[in-house]
A = this chain, B = another copy of it.
Amino acid sequence: MAYRETQRVRRRKAATREQLLRAAEARVRAGGFAALQIQTVAADAGLGVGTVYRYFRNRDSLAAEVFQRATEREVAALVKALAVPGSAITRLHHGLSVFARRALRAPRLARALIADPVSPEVEAQRLHYRRDYACHFRTLLEQGMESGSLPPQPAELSANALVGAVAESLAGPVAEHENESEAVDAVCRFCLRAVGAGAEIPAADAAPSLEINHEG
Chain A residues near B (Cβ < 8 Å): 32, 34, 111, 115-117, 123, 126-127, 130-131, 134, 153-154, 157-158, 160-169, 172-175, 177, 182-183, 186-187, 189-191, 193-196, 198
Contacts and interface: CB of A to CB of B under 8 A. Distances in A.
A17 B127 CA distance: 38
Contacts of A115: 111, 115
Contact of A34 (B117, B131, B173, B182): B117
A1 B130 CA distance: 65
Nearest to A164: B168
A32 B116 CA distance: 12
Contacts of A154: 182-183, 186
B173 A194 contact: no
A160 B164 contact: no
Nearest to A33: B117
A28 B53 CA distance: 34
A167 B164 contact: yes
A115 B187 CA distance: 20
A190 B174 CA distance: 22
A123 B32 CA distance: 14
Q: Sort A-B residue pairs by CB-CB distance and give the 9 closest, nearest first.
A: A164-B168, A194-B194, A164-B164, A161-B165, A161-B169, A165-B165, A160-B169, A115-B115, A130-B174
Nearest to A168: B164
Given A164-B164, A164-B167, A193-B193, 13 more contacts: A154-B182, A154-B183, A157-B187, A158-B186, A160-B172, A160-B174, A161-B168, A164-B172, A168-B168, A191-B194, A194-B194, A196-B198, A198-B198
